[in-house]
Structure 1
């Protein structure tokens, strides 16, 4: 997992285990200001493995995590600074999904009449998840 985080890896680095890679990442981040985005996290163990590498040097570095699991969000909140709180985001309704889809596909709010029905079906299939609409 951590090997994906490191952009440039040599052959020696590729042979390291996760603990060694975590230590290497920790050393590279030390005394640097960074923003790390962890998108769509599903597992507490994965968070535990990752967060060990993120040093807090009180220099304004930030880690942003997205997850669909409220329990995981609460766990991460309890594991970080007291002023960090999860921001729950609501799902879109079908009309909002359809609006976003039209903007992405047609660069306007207007869709040709013959594509409206299949477009609405696609919007419904995205189940209110904006990211699903935009992919």
Structure 2
């Protein structure tokens, strides 16, 4: 089950990366966000590179979770930051709950899986 969840998380990251890299305006508009100014496409592409590499890393980690404990646990930390940002920007009214609810839900379940799932120990 863990390997399947890690591949699912990796796939989600890769899809986000592809969307932010190749169709950021369409992707953001489809979620109800404002279209960013053209100069913001560069930082979005940098964000996309991180999604893509982390997603690929999760596909590799799924093959041997016991050897990739740090990578998996760090995703839990990423999700904690994502959730905190979602709560902050929703609470101060910058972004509506309708735009943050699904990403925050994902941050919760992905964070729980990656931070608290009992990972097998690497054989010595």
TM-score by length of structure 1 reads 0.23
Higher-RCO chain (CA-CA 8 Å, sequence separation at least 6): 2
Q: Which has the higher helix share?
A: 2
